[in-house]
Amino acid sequence: MQKDLIYKGSTKSLYHHEKEHMLKMSFEDTLKTSAKDLIEIPGKGIINNSISSYIMQQLDLIGVATHFVKKENMRQQTIQHTDIYPIQIHIATVASGRYVTDFGMEPGLIFETPLIDFRVKNKKIGYPPVNESQIMHFGWLYKEEIEDLKTRAMRVHDFLYGLFAGVQIRMIDVKLEFGRVYDEENFMIMLADEISPDTCRLWDMNSNEKLSYEIAEEDPEKILPAYQEVLRRLEG
């Protein structure tokens, strides 16, 4: 398998697939903390594969195009090869993370409407914020493409917010990535990457108990039980 490795990240690895235009995405047990430490949580990758597979299938039911093809085994899924846009779209409904550290907002403040935040998709420079003018000036996307991605991202966000709310989980924010899948001269825009507690801030709706990657800063041993609880509620 190692010889087929294309990319290895802190939470996922990509491998060649025997079928053209397909890849194998493997979910790892590692997680990078805000201090840049890479910690291992045995079993996390298996849980995230199940969560992301479930959510991608639910999105497919409402007509959202995703790169997900099928869950192959406990740790891997087959995805379509996607030309990823060089930006991430972060959507927040509650003040946390940089809204607290950079803007001095009270943690837990609920925004009147979701806030969209663009980030440069480059882990070497720490995924810095980037605005729409910069995105267009750098030639990454046209204005029309940005508006289209914002519309798609908000549709995904709204669905996820409702999905989690239905199992008494508040989605504080979510990180989304999109890309193009080409068919000769045409292309289709698809949701890519994963949707899991590694890419969303999730809090219990009643107790505000954290159920996602934030726990790593407080008590890494609580990560796996929290992720298992998210999966249990979604599948329950």
pLDDT at 9: 85
Checking if the pLDDT of 39 tops 80, the result is yes
C-alpha separations of 111 from 62, 83, 105, 212 in Å: 26, 33, 11, 20
> What is the enclosing helix (H) or strand (E) of 114?
strand 110-120
Checking if the pLDDT of 22 tops 90, the result is yes
Closest-CA residue to 79 (of 201, 190, 162): 190
Q: What would the pLDDT profile of 209-232 be if each residue is shown by its tens digit?
A: 999 999 988 898 999 999 999 999
CATH code of 83-220, in short, is 3.30.470.20
What is the crossing angle of helices 223-235 and 44-61, to 10°? 30
Q: What share of the chain is helix, strand, coil (3-state, %, to 5)?
A: 35, 35, 35
Q: What is the mean pLDDT of residues 19-35?
A: 89
User: What sign does the dihedral 39-32-226-110 (CA atoms) show?
Assistant: positive
- The domain segmentation of the chain, as residue ranges, is 2-80, 83-220
CA distance 200 to 197: 5
User: What sign does the dihedral 162-168-172-177 (CA atoms) show?
Assistant: negative
pLDDT at 52: 98
Q: Residue type for 180, please? A: R
Q: What is the mean pLDDT of residues 117-141?
A: 95
CA distance 205 to 2: 41
pLDDT at 80: 95
CA 200, distance to chain mean position in Å, is 6
CA distance 232 to 236: 6
Confidence grade of residue 38 (pLDDT, cut at 50, 70, 90): confident
Confidence grade of residue 111 (pLDDT, cut at 50, 70, 90): very high
- Are 11 and 198 in contact, with CB atoms under 8 Å apart? yes
Arithmetic mean of pLDDT over the chain = 94
Domain 2-80 superfamily per CATH: Phosphorylase Kinase; domain 1 (3.30.200.20)
pLDDT at 185: 78
Six-digit token pair at 231? 């999966």
Confidence grade of residue 133 (pLDDT, cut at 50, 70, 90): very high
In the chain, what percentage of residues exceed pLDDT 90? 84
Phi/psi at 2 (5° precision): -60, -35
In the chain, what percentage of residues exceed pLDDT 70? 97
Identify the burial level of 27 via C-beta atoms within 10 angstroms of its C-beta, where 0-12 means exposed, 13-18 middle and 19 or more buried: buried
Confidence grade of residue 28 (pLDDT, cut at 50, 70, 90): very high
Checking if the pLDDT of 236 tops 90, the result is no
pLDDT at 2: 58
Out of 6-20, 32-46, 143-157, 183-197, pick the least confident.
Answer: 32-46
